[in-house]
Structure 1
Amino acid sequence: MWTGERQSKKMKQIYFKSLLRMEIAYFERDDVTSGGLLTSVNKDTEDVQAVISEHMGYLIQDVVTVVSTFVLAFISHAILTLVILASMPLLLLSLAYTSRRASPLIVQERDIFVQAGNVLENALSAIKTIRAFNGEEKEEKKHQNYLQAANSVSSSLAWTYGLRSGLTQFLILSLFVQGFWFGATLVANKRLAPGEVLSVFYSAMLGLGVLKNILPRIVSIERGKNAVNSINILLEKVALMELEALRGFKLSKIEGNIEFNQVSFSYPSRPDTWVLRNIDLYIPAYQTTVFVGESGSGKSTITQLIQRLYEPEEGLIMLDGRELRILNISWLRQQIGVVSQEPVLFDDTIFANVAYGRADYWNTTMKEVEDACKLACIHDFIMELPQGYDTGLGDMGKKLSGGQRQRIAIARALIKDPAILILDEASSALDMTSDHMVQKALENCRKNRTTIVVTHQLKHIGDSDLVYVMNEGEIVESGTKSQLLDIKNGYYNKLSVDHSPNPKRRTPELDSINKRLNSHESQQICTTPTSLKAKRVSAMNFLSADLSLSPPPSATFSRKSWYFEDPMDMDMLQGSATAAFSKRNEINDNSTSINDIISYYEDNDDGVIIDVLVTNPDESKSENTEQQKFKFPIIKLIRETMDNKSFYYIGIIATVINGLVMPAFSFVLANLLNTYSIADKDKLMYESRKFALYVLLIAIINGISTHFKYYLLERASERWAVRLRHLGFGKVLRQPQSWFDKPENATGKVTTILTTDTESSKNLIGQFAGNIILGLISLFGGIIWAFAVGWQLTLVGFGLVPLLLIISELQGFILQKYEKSQKLATENAANSFYQTISSLRTVFSLAIEPAMENKFHSSLEKPYKIGVKKAFICGFTSGFLDSLSYLTKVVTFGYGAKLVSDGVYDLQTMLVVWTLVIFCTTSASQMLATIPYYAKSKQAIKTIDKIINLPVTSNTEGIKPNHIQGTIVFKDVKFSYPERPDTTVLNGLDLTIHQGQTVALVGRSGNGKSTVAALLQRIYEPTHGSIMLDYEDLKGLELRWLRENVGIVSQEPVLFDMTIAENISYGKDDATKEEIETVAKQVNLHEFILNLPNGYDTKLGSCGSQLSGGQKQRIAIARVLLIDPKILILDEATSALDTTNEAIVQETLSKVQKGRTTLVITHRLKSVKNSDKIALVEGGKILESGTHKELMTLRGEYFELVRSGNL
């Protein structure tokens, strides 16, 4: 088991490392997703670990035993041994046939479960979008389709293995039939003494008994073999890539001159669609080069080629006169800082997320991080948080708003002091205040480095910036801004519509801000900090640094470590500084590096690890109560969740029959062996034939019962596991959002529970239950029979059984404790795996593969150490139990011989009792050997039981009005997130939106705007006050009906790994092709889709990775337009669009807003000026409301926001 734990850890490390060496195109394949990879690594490593930990060791032991016993039998009498083994070729043929049939089924089953894992991961990571479009049932159905396919394959596999087991048991017992007859003949003809026959029989019987144990292990070994093959396939793909990654030059100095010479490119997932065509361009060093153009024109693709996330299919890309392909890829990415439109942050502290920007992140000091954050205008916000830079950001940084995430990403890019800075819509998520701040900060950062900007906001283009205008993958114009503006009817002039500066917006307040920016007087707007002014070290020195993960003494800072007990979103982070946080053990060492912090957060789980998915924190207070609660959960769970129980009950009956075979065979065998002592030849032959026929009959019964035992129990348990997975997925989909916000319910952890734990659970009622019943029937049946024949020897033979049971119970109790801790630690490691793999594009861009490897390796240490302790306990107890089994045989045989010599027993009685004792205690020992796996299954069932019993509220309960007008009233609404009841996000908010009105919510980030939208969708419920729709309380309305009538387009839209048509029609299953095309035309996407090789049937990949940000947002808008909601929520709905498409989409939205109630959340003045009402949200309340004209006349806070350019 120790070796199995070590190899499992090693395999996960290799698997993880291999994925980090794969090119990004591999992860854009339709059959590769984060959830599928997580399912694959869990299943493959478990299969291999089972082989190494249990089956391989026993297999070697059993093979040695079989060979040794057969050798002894041959030495005793070769001919008799050959006769006994005459049917062995049939056994081998049956094994070969079933193995050949089972192998493709194993691969097929694995692939189906991986695809089912993809569905799980996609659904859980996009739960808000699924809820918004009532997609729970659709996701359930999709998942169930895969599970039904898996059921069919598993049933065929169970029949095949059942057939193998039945034939094996029949052939092994039937081997004795011809052996008994031939042995009797030899004894009758005086050619062999009875003792010699007995010696051959006992040797062969021992070998064949062990052989029965070998064959079931082959099933697990075959699964392990297929698992190793799947991993080897991945390793073979990685081998060449890893060699390529290690090769290449590292320039001693970078100027930053970049050239594209006749570059053409198409994405590997769409090879027939050219994204770039014959691109020629020059990006001069130490200057800013800007790429503009419509969404999908290829701007972001150019930045990805520069990072070598992809390789061009034609042409060359040069850096300072060297072809990009010949440069070391890791070194290259370390010289580039990237801020993308949708920045990805990691589930770590703010300090760690910023420090990851540096290649030598372990050397990062607090001052360097603070300086970078000051430069990105996020320092003051961080310092307002109770834990400051030690604040955990949650899964994908979801505790921050979009703007806050983007500023953290900017700080991460700046801290490395890159030679090349890429800003891909770097300020698209910022409000006007932050935008002004960040743009001025970025102007300072652009000095003395090559800067590449991708933007739709032409106002950010400087007079001296080189501008390339792109259209459909080609450079159509280039030059400075003034040069391009001189081209009449040019592309740039077309894009510049609505982007020309408005002189009226120049105000004294705005001038004041600019003066402060230039004079560096503001603490929020800072010049380049001293630590970032240092001369850039040479690339060779930069890379020659010690890459060990142990922190150098110089990288020190002093602070306390905190963590969030539960997630919060952006509004909660901006809430009161008295928010309830749980303080972790303080790090008292004043010389603590980031590496220490990472290790601390991963390894020190005291008081943090809660039983997974516990909804009531008080449950963990009493371990005894929990033990009592789950003492017999299996009976309740089977009764409530198992369908087709008849299969299982018939399988139990077959198991009982199979359990009676061993005592019956022992009795017949003893009588048969006793016949050799008969002196009369005819009687000897008659008795031998009679008992040989009994053995044949028992062999037939054994074969049939074994087959149906295996097939029926395995089929029933597989169906049960699939049903548990289906029911659990359904329960999870219907949990409130606050449940998903908890860290113990992160996507990676829940995916692992629903895949791995259900697989472990089935073993308890499948073959494990079969073995337990078989062992108990054999044990008690043998005891009763043996007592009836000879009670004295029986008492001695079974006298050690109570000791066996006591030791086994103690072993199970200890292992249960370890199993729980290991399970939780394993889930944390699985979540670490998932978070990294789902963020690989960011990992590659930052070149932090070593950091992610170290983090994942650290997460594997805890489950490994617990596994080693389990291995020691299992090894000790198993060895002790085996020794007691052998001791039983010796004592029983010795005492039986004494009883025969004393005349108490005759030889027949002694042989019958002894044989029964030996066979029954052997069965009991085999049963007890499964205890370690029982502990694992039991712990898995506890978790699944909690999932299955999660409370849910039906989304079809409540009032379902016949029609909707759309009048919305928020009355004295107060709201605190369930996990932070003391932090008030909305504080007595009053807002009325009349039927057909468009109301815009404006204000600084974190004041409750997005919370209002979430409450309107009933993602959360208000803690006080009421929300009325057409004067009906929202709580009393049917949830499904409500969401059918409320459509939302968010700032970061979520698309699914489906076709374009399926994504657009996600909220309307009966949508026609004409309807889908109509809404696509409305958002100016139809022509683009038609130009794709597969048109509307084009798969988008995971999270819509095949599209640009603007294209994704337009599909999301089309999706909402198709369901034609009566209430529309637009949360920065056009932030990712270029000027042309924004104008088209805005015109469409203006049309569809007529006659429906619309809530707009935005930072753009032009998006709110024409609203019927504008509400300024401040401190969780409506501070001001009215039309734009009214609010400007009021000359209040809104007026100041507009005058200062912050709106």
Structure 2
Amino acid sequence: MAKQLNTKQESPHLKRFYYPLDRAVEKPFNWTQMLRLLKYLKPYTKTLLPGAMIAMLISTMVRLAVPILIGRVAIDVAIANEDVTMLTYLIIGISLLYLLSYLGNMYRIKWINILGQKVIYDLRETLFSHVQRLSHNFFDKRSAGSILVRILNDVNSLQELFTNGIINLLMDVVMLLGIIVILFVLSPPLAMAVLVILPIMFYISTKLRRNIRRSWQDVRIQKSRLNSHLNESMQGIRITQSFSQEKENTEYFDGVNTDNFEKERLAMKKSAYFGPFVEMSNAIGTVILISYGAHLLLLGPENGGIQIGTFVSFAFFLGMFWEPISRLGQIYNQLLVAMASSERIFEFLDEQPNVEEKDNAKEFTNMKGHIEFDRVQFSYDDDRVALHEISLEMKPGETVALVGHTGSGKSTIANLISRFYDPTKGSVKIDGNDLRDMKLDSLRNNISVVLQDTFIFSGTIMENIRFGRPGATDEEVMDAAKVVGAHDFITKLADGYYTEVEERGNILSAGERQLLSFARALLADPKILILDEATASIDTETEVKIQNALQKLLKGRTAIMIAHRLSTIRESDNIIVLEHGRILEQGNHDELMHQKGEYFDLVKSQFQMLDAL
């Protein structure tokens, strides 16, 4: 699944991995995608967003008004004319304006943070819900860690954009435009002089954009690899310790972690170029203001010069001018990070299930469980055909066993019945309905699957059994556990049915986890039951309990049993023997033994193995 990649920096025994579906790509800044991202603000355009914008405008207008009041009114009029009353009123008025600005900033920060958190909540919920509906083919090509990174880290990286970036961007644009207009109104020659640096600054910053954006893409991808490795390491910790590979695993992690460190360091380094450049521009602007402004002061207003109050206002506005420019550089970095993350988020959101539900799909009503495969061919990829135009029938209430060597197509048949995949050719029907014409929930609500590797969720045992039917009562859960023989071991646990189990149920034995999966399947009351190597991890004593439970579990249901231990399928109504995606023979146990074909050889070889033991 992952290709190995050697680099010059790594030690000879260390291998790096990259995932073909996780690569940085060179693209221009995609404004269409950014507008798509901003659409998540739409539910709040009548409430939080207008309030935050009004508060922002109030505080911005105050900041633009104060330097004019100080320079043109306080200095050039009140102080020049020694008007103490006017100066007093100005001091009170400016104080009240600053209070108004404080209130505007307070509510702006409050409302925009609430807005940002709501947008991130909506985006993450949308992404998770979408991923939940994707086909198995999507998960076959990606590690769990890389998916987690997009739902967690990539969405989190958008938080700064939505909580500060958007409103700050508007505020700084309004501030800059306001300052430029005011500067030209106060003195066009001086404004032209101090703003001469802007075109050079714009040119250099544009050159940095592509480089910075690519670096942040690399950061997101490397974090995905780091999380993938962490996820695999935690899940495979027992194997790592069993083979004493802790040192090698740590060395591999060190390589991935170093790459992550270097990618982030490089991205931060490139992003930091903008700050010092703004400071340098500020310094140049200040030098121009002092030198040329002093010249205009000496000329005086009557000769095309300026007054001292205008010079002071210019000094105020020039100091304010570079502040929003510096912030705009930071916001642009946020936009680059957001673009890199949003590309990866929208890649998932644009992913369509391979198994699609038609708009006019029908629902199953009172499913009988009559399954038909009509010349079905299926391929996982172009090079490997899993099923070769097979035709078979499973009658309602019949127990059908699928046997054969690994890779013969047993699990593929089960996956097609659940419609985790669609046939490449032919059709799969239940009760005469092509599954491609039916609603997925309607189909899967009538099917329960019990796998060899039982998945136990974090929570109580009660919740895990109830997962198959959330509306079931406690009594119904306990009754299902009693039927499959799980009640006895559950009641011996510290808190019985309310015992907390961690992810994958590590406090339970393999047999106990399998019994819980049987109880979960029974509680769901399916019309079709698929047992995929469901008794493979169970000891002989537990298997006896399961065989007794199966008689009740299978009653009145169409059951498909996949098993290597042939002793578990002797009582099946029909046994289908598969080899390389083709049906070799079928019939009940006695019929197949009488034919002395492939099934006979399989049974004989298993008995010989038991005799050898």
TM-score (structure 1 length as normaliser): 0.48
Runs of 4 or more above 6 Å deviation: none
Per the alignment, do residues 922 and 1034 of structure 1 end up closer, same or farther by CA in structure 2, a change over 3 Å counting? Answer: closer
Report the CA distance between 1:1086 and its aligned residue: 1.2
Matched with 1:1025 is 426
Matched with 1:114 is none
Match of residue 121, structure 2, among 709, 718, 722: 722
- Say whether residues 1:639 and 2:71 are aligned partners: no
User: In the TM superposition, what whole-angstrom CA distance separates every residue of 1:1052-1100 from its partner, at most 9, and x where no partner exists?
Assistant: 1111111111111101111112111111111222122222232111111
Cα distance in structure 2, aligned partners of 1:961 and 1:906: 86
Match of residue 1106, structure 1, among 507, 511, 520: 507
Match of residue 157, structure 2, among 733, 740, 760: 760
- Say whether residues 1:970 and 2:373 are aligned partners: yes
Query: Counterpart of 2:195 in structure 1: which amino acid?
Result: F
Deviates more, 1:775-784 or 1:833-842: 833-842
Cα distance in structure 2, aligned partners of 1:748 and 1:1118: 30
Cα distance in structure 2, aligned partners of 1:1144 and 1:849: 39
Cα distance in structure 2, aligned partners of 1:871 and 1:945: 24
Query: Counterpart of 2:34 in structure 1: which amino acid?
Result: I
Q: Secondary structure at the match of 1:643?
A: helix
Matched with 2:139 is 740
Q: Secondary structure at the match of 2:585?
A: strand
Per the alignment, do residues 1072 and 658 of structure 1 end up closer, same or farther by CA in structure 2, a change over 3 Å counting? Answer: same
Q: How does 1:969-988 map to 2 (within 5 A)?
A: 969-977=372-380, 980-988=381-389
- Say whether residues 1:704 and 2:107 are aligned partners: no
Cα distance in structure 1, aligned partners of 2:558 and 2:109: 61
Cα distance in structure 1, aligned partners of 2:194 and 2:357: 60
Paired-residue identity, % = 26
Matched with 1:1056 is 457
Q: How does 1:522-537 map to 2 (within 5 A)?
A: none
Cα distance in structure 2, aligned partners of 1:734 and 1:801: 50
Cα distance in structure 1, aligned partners of 2:108 and 2:358: 42
Report the CA distance between 1:955 and its aligned residue: 9.5
Report the CA distance between 1:1153 and its aligned residue: 1.8
- Say whether residues 1:779 and 2:176 are aligned partners: yes
CA contact (8 A) 1:957 1:1039 kept: no
Report the CA distance between 1:1199 and its aligned residue: 1.8
Report the CA distance between 1:656 and its aligned residue: 2.6
Report the CA distance between 1:827 and its aligned residue: 0.9
Matched with 2:349 is 948
Matched with 1:167 is none
Per the alignment, do residues 595 and 1196 of structure 1 end up closer, same or farther by CA in structure 2, a change over 3 Å counting? Answer: farther
Matched with 1:1164 is 565
Q: How does 1:608-619 map to 2 (within 5 A)?
A: 608=20, 610-611=22-23
User: In the TM superposition, what whole-angstrom CA distance separates every residue of 1:824-874 from its partner, at most 9, and x where no partner exists?
Assistant: 112111111121123223333333222221111111232332333334433
Per the alignment, do residues 1122 and 955 of structure 1 end up closer, same or farther by CA in structure 2, a change over 3 Å counting? Answer: farther
Cα distance in structure 1, aligned partners of 2:433 and 2:13: 51
Query: Counterpart of 2:361 in structure 1: which amino acid?
Result: G
Q: Secondary structure at the match of 1:1176?
A: strand
Q: How does 1:926-941 map to 2 (within 5 A)?
A: 926-941=327-342
User: In the TM superposition, what whole-angstrom CA distance separates every residue of 1:544-590 from its partner, at most 9, and x where no partner exists?
Assistant: xxxxxxxxxxxxxxxxxxx4xxxxxxxxxxxxxxxxxxxx78x899x
Match of residue 406, structure 2, among 999, 1005, 1010: 1005
User: In the TM superposition, what whole-angstrom CA distance separates every residue of 1:1007-1057 from its partner, at most 9, and x where no partner exists?
Assistant: 111111111111111111111111111111221121111111111111111
Instruction: List runs of 5+ in structure 2 lacking aligned partners.
Output: 609-613
Report the CA distance between 1:957 and its aligned residue: 6.4
Cα distance in structure 2, aligned partners of 1:1001 and 1:724: 43
Cα distance in structure 2, aligned partners of 1:1095 and 1:907: 84
User: In the TM superposition, what whole-angstrom CA distance separates every residue of 1:78-105 from its partner, at most 9, and x where no partner exists?
Assistant: xxxxxxxxxxxxxxxxxxxxxxxxxxxx
CA contact (8 A) 1:975 1:1022 kept: yes
Q: How does 1:492-891 map to 2 (within 5 A)?
A: 563=3, 596=12, 598-599=14-15, 601-602=16-17, 605=18, 608=20, 610-611=22-23, 623-624=26-27, 627=28, 630-640=30-40, 642-645=42-45, 646-671=47-72, 674=75, 678=79, 681=82, 683=83, 685-743=84-142, 746-891=143-288
Per the alignment, do residues 595 and 1121 of structure 1 end up closer, same or farther by CA in structure 2, a change over 3 Å counting? Answer: farther
Per the alignment, do residues 760 and 872 of structure 1 end up closer, same or farther by CA in structure 2, a change over 3 Å counting? Answer: closer
CA contact (8 A) 1:1001 1:1177 kept: yes
Query: Counterpart of 2:250 in structure 1: which amino acid?
Result: E
Matched with 2:588 is 1187
Cα distance in structure 2, aligned partners of 1:897 and 1:1104: 78
Cα distance in structure 2, aligned partners of 1:657 and 1:1003: 76
Per the alignment, do residues 1057 and 1196 of structure 1 end up closer, same or farther by CA in structure 2, a change over 3 Å counting? Answer: same
Instruction: List runs of 5+ in structure 1 lacking aligned partners.
Output: 1-391, 395-562, 564-583, 613-619
CA contact (8 A) 2:375 2:426 kept: yes
Query: Counterpart of 2:109 in structure 1: which amino acid?
Result: Y
User: In the TM superposition, what whole-angstrom CA distance separates every residue of 1:143-197 from its partner, at most 9, and x where no partner exists?
Assistant: xxxxxxxxxxxxxxxxxxxxxxxxxxxxxxxxxxxxxxxxxxxxxxxxxxxxxxx
User: In the TM superposition, what whole-angstrom CA distance separates every residue of 1:740-791 from its partner, at most 9, and x where no partner exists?
Assistant: 1113xx2111112111111211222321222222221111101111211211
Query: Counterpart of 2:71 in structure 1: which amino acid?
Result: A
CA contact (8 A) 1:808 1:931 kept: no
Cα distance in structure 1, aligned partners of 2:182 and 2:93: 17
CA contact (8 A) 1:1173 1:1185 kept: yes
Report the CA distance between 1:595 and its aligned residue: 6.4
Match of residue 294, structure 2, among 888, 891, 897: 897
Q: How does 1:474-493 map to 2 (within 5 A)?
A: none
Q: Secondary structure at the match of 1:1106?
A: coil
CA contact (8 A) 1:975 1:987 kept: yes
Cα distance in structure 2, aligned partners of 1:895 and 1:934: 37
Query: Counterpart of 1:740 in structure 2: which amino acid?
Result: F
User: In the TM superposition, what whole-angstrom CA distance separates every residue of 1:92-122 from its partner, at most 9, and x where no partner exists?
Assistant: xxxxxxxxxxxxxxxxxxxxxxxxxxxxxxx
- Say whether residues 1:1152 and 2:549 are aligned partners: no
Q: Secondary structure at the match of 2:500?
A: coil
Cα distance in structure 1, aligned partners of 2:268 and 2:113: 27
CA contact (8 A) 1:667 1:916 kept: no
Matched with 2:474 is 1073
Cα distance in structure 2, aligned partners of 1:649 and 1:808: 31
Cα distance in structure 2, aligned partners of 1:1173 and 1:1071: 33
Query: Counterpart of 2:93 in structure 1: which amino acid?
Result: Y
CA contact (8 A) 1:671 1:691 kept: no
Query: Counterpart of 2:229 in structure 1: which amino acid?
Result: S
Per the alignment, do residues 1140 and 609 of structure 1 end up closer, same or farther by CA in structure 2, a change over 3 Å counting? Answer: closer
Q: Secondary structure at the match of 2:400?
A: strand
Per the alignment, do residues 954 and 1194 of structure 1 end up closer, same or farther by CA in structure 2, a change over 3 Å counting? Answer: closer
Cα distance in structure 1, aligned partners of 2:473 and 2:576: 38
- Say whether residues 1:910 and 2:314 are aligned partners: no
Per the alignment, do residues 992 and 902 of structure 1 end up closer, same or farther by CA in structure 2, a change over 3 Å counting? Answer: same
Matched with 1:252 is none
Per the alignment, do residues 609 and 1004 of structure 1 end up closer, same or farther by CA in structure 2, a change over 3 Å counting? Answer: closer
Cα distance in structure 2, aligned partners of 1:1102 and 1:1036: 36
Root-mean-square deviation (CA), in Å? 2.5
Matched with 1:370 is none
Matched with 1:130 is none
CA contact (8 A) 2:274 2:326 kept: no
